[in-house]
Structure formats: structure tokens, C-alpha cells
Amino acid sequence: GENVEQHPSTLSVQEGDSAVIKCTYSDSASNYFPWYKQELGKRPQLIIDIRSNVGEKKDQRIAVTLNKTAKHFSLHITETQPEDSAVYFCAASLSYGQNFVFGPGTRLSVLP
């Protein structure tokens, strides 16, 4: 089955700097890759997603890139702010009723 690895497990950046979190997946048939942000005590919330027919997607300060050949995808956050501090999860999924497999999460701390 699918296996998703995520690095780093913790990441500290200065406010205003960029943060990059990388995930790798094992099943080349996976074709949908969402990213979730979970603040302390709250539910995971989708922040951006990408499908396998797209190499990059951007939404304001957040972007995701996908390299299908290497089977990895990355989350890029620019101009980080203290409110970006949270745990970020990547996930991979096949179509047609296959379940999501989540990475173990990255705890991002944005230092003022």
C-alpha cells in the first residue's frame, strides 16, 4: 500500500522567512495530494491541494509543487507569520475510493 514520508518533523523559522516541507510517496498511482494545517486543539483544515496533472499550484503565500517522476511534493510558505505556526500534514490518495494516507506531520514554529 501507499506510504507517505514527511520531512522535517519540526521546523523553526524567523518571521518573514520561507518554510519548505517535503513529502515523498511510494505508490506511483497516487494522483491527489492535499496539505492540511492543524492548529493546537483544532481540526485539520485543507490549505492547498494538487492533482497529478499539475506541477505547481499557488494560493497567495502558499504553493505546492509536485514531481511525479521522483514521487515527491512540497509545501512552500513565503513571508511566514506567527499565525502560520501549526502542524502541517501532507497526504496522498488514489482515485476511486482509495483512502488517504497521511504523512506524520511537521510542526512549524514561526518565531517573531
Give the residues lining the site for other proteins (CB under 8 A).
Answer: 31-32, 34, 36, 42-46, 49, 89, 93-105
Closer Cβ to other proteins, 91 or 110, answer by number = 91
DSSP class of residue 99?
Answer: P
Q: Are 33 and 50 in contact (CB under 8 A)?
A: yes
Instruction: Compute the least distance from the CB of residue 96 to other proteins, in Å.
Output: 7
Closer Cβ to other proteins, 2 or 78, answer by number = 2
Instruction: Compute the least distance from the CB of residue 14 to other proteins, in Å.
Output: 27
Instruction: Compute the least distance from the CB of residue 31 to other proteins, in Å.
Output: 7
Grid coordinates of 60: 497567495
Alpha carbons 53 and 44: distance in angstroms, whole number: 25
Alpha carbons 5 and 7: distance in angstroms, whole number: 7
